[in-house]
């Protein structure tokens, strides 16, 4: 059931052929077998690296919900990431290690923050929207920097990871499978959401807000709901990120981090379901490779980003799919 | 608090604001007139500071440093516009954000490679190093010079944009580039000119700020974000808005940093004020921006 649905997602059309189904099964099996193979080959580092990709893919998928499908270019989405990281790190300081509690806290605070900021930012359009989301992200950034009792700008080291069913979420293999499962669940959820009446109206609002208003839909409410869902998911992603690094830092929410999230979405293909995942993987791999090649890697990364934004308008995912059909 | 201290801080705020207005004026033209989302504007400020400081440290002539900084940033800006950014004018803001984000990475790394990661310093020119008595408030001459230069440039820009033929064309092309092109004006050249002037202004702000800040790779980022706040508060595309918005934001930011902590200490415990003071001081300009946008989404001094 889940696999056939995954196949449909990867196509995004209703006629999932057998070949694509097989491809999806192969992908699912290889994703599950990956840590075992990696450990066998004594390359545990890559488990951590792929987990990082999975976590950032999740953040990019949640940003894509508003950016790709809703046309809302949020330049402050990393703020939810840093909030989530602190939702995991701060309770552990007081010895509260339950993973579900961290996630619940992240969801509550993340959705509240998205609701409050959304009420302001969604009143603005285009450039002003980009700027206001950035402004709120900066506010949270400076707020976290000023929390001296939780490390200030040096960040907060976690003594232990979140605990789930007696195991540490920060364990490499546990975190890998949890991230994989959460990513798969969110992708399925997003597909269902976009094809639901809510999702159809939401995409309609992005395409032509005036018309949807004229049809009598409260457009702000639809955009706000999507913004809250996206923010909440991204905050949960922050909990996973904190467990990956055992560290929470305001820099997770810096404006450069927000820019990188946007980049992942656009690189893979905004407004497609598989795009952000491909984009996150491509971005982190490019970063990893250029880091290994030269100490001046940011410059090469920058040149690559410029080239991508000039030459590839629709992202890797769209490019691959168009050339195949 | 002594009135002279308050006056001194206000002057500091105005000086900071005037410097921001040089950046904001260039960016608001690029933003409002070319409808181009340029995040790399802060990088030109950094480049101006580095190049200018190097010229000054080598030659000792401040005027030469200013000319060098402005020329260098204009050339780099013109080349970037010609080779890359020109292709992006018609694509959506998202791609513009990404491309200019890439430029920030390149320029920051370039500065790090050429000048090293440690801060680079430039001393205040001896001719301007004294202080000037302003109705009983002694104020550094150099900062006063920044105010004078900034105000005269803002005035020049205002006259050019609102009173000259070139300014008329620029305003017209912000309104409807197709019609302006149809009238036989080369809009491509016009855009390149606006972008290059904007970069030159950012470079000027960079060299003016160089003696009073630490010059380091990445110094453009913080300034860029504050400049964006200025533009949004002032109203995108308005020179007047950029200038008045910059003074407003400069004063609020400077005074916030100086006065919020001590005032909180009067009403709250030391622990609370020690933590909340710096936080409030850092976020107050963003609060102002959010309030302005919620109240007047087009900005305080919008042209439209």
Q: How high is the mean pLDDT in each 10-residue block of chain B (304 residues)?
A: 80 90 89 82 94 92 92 94 86 83 91 88 82 77 89 90 88 83 88 92 92 87 86 84 91 86 73 72 83 80 66
Touching check for B79 and chain A: CB below 8 Å? no
Instruction: Give the Cα separation of A308 and A256 in Å (integer).
Output: 18
Phi, psi for B61 (deg, rounded to 5): -105, 115
Q: Is the pLDDT of residue A2 over 70?
A: no
Instruction: Give the Cα separation of A145 and B271 in Å (integer).
Output: 16
Q: Is B102 close to A298, i.e. CB distance below 8 A?
A: no
Q: What is the pLDDT of residue B30?
A: 86
Residue B31 DSSP one-character state: I
Sign of CA dihedral A304, A310, A311, A315: positive
Q: Is B98 close to A142, i.e. CB distance below 8 A?
A: no
Buried b (16+ CB within 10 A) or exposed e, B139-149: bbbbbbbbbeb
Closest approach of B55 to chain A, Cα-based (Å): 25
Q: Using 50, 70 and 90 to split pLDDT, how confident is the model at A5?
A: low
Q: Is the pLDDT of residue A101 over 70?
A: yes
Q: Is A127 close to B105, i.e. CB distance below 8 A?
A: no
Q: What is the pLDDT of residue A31?
A: 76
Q: Is A142 close to B283, i.e. CB distance below 8 A?
A: yes
The stretch A56-62 carries a mean pLDDT of 94
Helix ranges, B184-269 (H):
187-209, 219-234, 239-267
Q: Is the pLDDT of residue A72 over 60?
A: yes
Q: Is A142 close to B225, i.e. CB distance below 8 A?
A: no
Residues B115 and B50 sit within 8 Å (Cβ to Cβ): yes
pLDDT digits (tens, 9 = 90+) for A129-150: 888 888 889 888 888 888 877 8
Q: Is A305 close to B105, i.e. CB distance below 8 A?
A: yes
Instruction: Give the Cα separation of A121 and A132 in Å (integer).
Output: 6
Q: Is the pLDDT of residue A208 over 60?
A: yes
Counting Cα atoms < 13 Å in the Cβ hemisphere of A290 gives 16
Q: Which of A130, A143, A309 sits opposite B102 (nearest CB)?
A: A309
Q: Is the pLDDT of residue A7 over 70?
A: no
Least confident span in A145-159, A200-214, B191-205: A145-159
Touching check for A154 and chain B: CB below 8 Å? no
Touching check for A242 and chain B: CB below 8 Å? no
Q: Which of A123, A148, A310 sits opposite B297 (nearest CB)?
A: A123
Which of chain B's residues have a Cβ under 8 Å away from the Cβ of A262?
94, 97-98
Touching check for B37 and chain A: CB below 8 Å? yes
Counting Cα atoms < 13 Å in the Cβ hemisphere of A291 gives 6
Q: Using 50, 70 and 90 to split pLDDT, how confident is the model at A17?
A: low
Q: Is the pLDDT of residue A1 over 50?
A: no
Of all residues in chain A, what percent carry a pLDDT higher than 70?
Answer: 92
A160 or A252: which carries more pLDDT confidence?
A: A252
Q: Which of A138, A263, A299 sits opposite B110 (nearest CB)?
A: A299
Terminal-to-terminal C-alpha distance of chain B: 42
Both structure tokens of B22: 């040089």
pLDDT digits (tens, 9 = 90+) for A305-321: 888 888 876 777 777 77
Instruction: Give the Cα separation of B132 and B221 in Å (integer).
Output: 32
pTM value? 0.84
Q: Is the pLDDT of residue A324 over 70?
A: no
Residue A196's H or E segment, with its range, is none
Closest approach of B72 to chain A, Cα-based (Å): 20
ipTM of this complex prediction, to 2 decimal places? 0.82
pLDDT digits (tens, 9 = 90+) for A23-32: 777 777 777 7
Q: How many CB pairs under 8 A join A and B?
A: 130
In 3D space, the residue among A89, A113, A115 whose CA is nearest the CA of residue A102 turns out to be: A89
In 3D space, the residue among B114, B115, B86, B111 whose CA is nearest the CA of residue B100 turns out to be: B86
Nearest CA in chain A to B110: A299
Residue A167's H or E segment, with its range, is strand A167-168
Instruction: Give the Cα separation of B54 and B60 in Å (integer).
Output: 10
Q: Which of B108, B232, B293 sits opposite A298 (nearest CB)?
A: B108
Touching check for A135 and chain B: CB below 8 Å? yes
Q: Mean pLDDT: which of A167-181, A240-254, B68-82, B168-182 is highest?
A: B68-82
Q: Where are the domains of chain B?
A: 13-218
Q: Is A148 close to B236, i.e. CB distance below 8 A?
A: no
Maximum pairwise Cα distance, chain B: 68
CA dihedral (A103, A104, A108, A109) in degrees, to 10, reads: -40
Q: Is the pLDDT of residue A263 over 90?
A: no
Closest approach of A295 to chain B, Cα-based (Å): 10
């Amino acid at each position: 059931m889940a696999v056939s649905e995954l196949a449909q997602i990867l196509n995004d059309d209703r006629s999932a052929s057998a070949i694509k189904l097989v491809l999806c099964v192969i992908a699912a099996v290889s994703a599950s077998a990956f840590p075992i193979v990696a450990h066998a080959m004594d390359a545990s580092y890559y488990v951590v690296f792929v987990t990082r990709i999975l976590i950032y893919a999740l953040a990019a998928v949640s940003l894509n919900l508003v950016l790709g499908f809703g046309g809302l270019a949020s330049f402050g989405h990393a703020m939810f990431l840093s909030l989530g990281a602190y939702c995991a790190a701060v309770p552990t300081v007081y010895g509260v290690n339950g993973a579900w509690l961290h996630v619940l806290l992240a969801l509550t605070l993340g959705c509240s923050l998205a609701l409050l900021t959304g009420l302001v930012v969604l009143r603005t359009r285009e450039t002003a929207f980009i700027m206001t989301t950035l402004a709120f992200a900066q506010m949270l950034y400076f707020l976290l920097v000023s929390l001296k009792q939780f490390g200030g700008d040096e960040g907060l080291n976690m003594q232990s990871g979140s605990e789930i069913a007696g195991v540490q979420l920060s364990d490499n293999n546990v975190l890998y499978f949890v991230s994989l499962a959460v990513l798969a669940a969110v992708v399925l959820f997003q597909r269902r959401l976009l094809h639901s009446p809510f999702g159809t109206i939401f995409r309609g609002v992005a395409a032509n807000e005036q018309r949807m208003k004229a049809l009598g839909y409260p457009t702000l409410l639809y955009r706000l709901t999507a913004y809250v869902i996206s923010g909440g998911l991204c905050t949960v992603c922050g909990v996973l990120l904190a467990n990956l690094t055992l560290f929470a830092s305001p820099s997770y929410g810096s404006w450069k981090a927000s820019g990188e999230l946007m980049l992942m979405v656009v690189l893979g293909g905004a407004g497609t379901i598989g795009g952000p995942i491909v984009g996150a993987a491509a971005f982190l791999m490019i970063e990893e490779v250029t880091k290994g090649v030269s100490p001046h890697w940011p410059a090469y990364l920058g040149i690559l980003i410029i080239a991508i934004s000039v030459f590839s308008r629709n992202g890797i995912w769209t490019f691959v799919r168009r050339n195949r059909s | 608090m002594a009135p002279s201290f308050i006056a001194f801080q206000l002057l500091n705020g105005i000086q900071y604001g005037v410097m921001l207005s040089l950046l904001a004026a260039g960016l608001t033209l690029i933003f409002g007139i070319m409808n181009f989302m340029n995040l790399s504007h802060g990088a030109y400020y950094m480049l101006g500071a580095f190049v200018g400081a190097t010229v000054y440290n080598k030659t000792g002539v401040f005027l030469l440093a200013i000319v060098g900084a402005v020329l260098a940033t204009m050339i780099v800006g013109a080349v970037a516009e010609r080779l890359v950014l020109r292709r992006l004018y018609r694509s959506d803001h998202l791609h513009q954000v990404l491309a200019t984000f890439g430029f920030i990475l390149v320029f920051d790394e370039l500065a790090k490679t050429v000048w090293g990661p440690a801060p680079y310093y430039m001393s205040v020119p001896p001719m301007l190093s004294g202080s000037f008595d302003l109705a009983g408030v002694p104020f550094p001459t150099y900062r006063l010079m920044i105010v004078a230069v900034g105000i005269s440039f803002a005035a020049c820009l205002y006259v050019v944009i609102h009173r000259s033929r070139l300014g008329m064309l620029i305003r017209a092309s912000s309104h409807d580039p197709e019609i302006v092109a149809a009238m036989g004006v080369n809009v491509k050249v016009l855009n390149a000119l606006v972008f290059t002037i904007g970069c030159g202004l950012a470079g000027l702000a960079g060299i003016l700020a160089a003696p009073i800040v630490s010059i380091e790779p990445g110094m453009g980022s913080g300034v860029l974000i504050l400049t964006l706040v200025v533009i949004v508060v002032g109203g995108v595309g308005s020179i007047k808005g950029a200038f008045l918005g910059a003074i407003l934001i400069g004063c609020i930011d400077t005074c916030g940093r100086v006065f919020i902590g001590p005032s909180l200490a009067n009403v709250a415990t030391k622990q609370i004020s020690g933590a909340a003071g710096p936080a409030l001081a850092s976020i107050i300009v963003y609060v102002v921006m959010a309030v302005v946008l919620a109240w007047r989404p087009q900005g305080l001094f919008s042209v439209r």
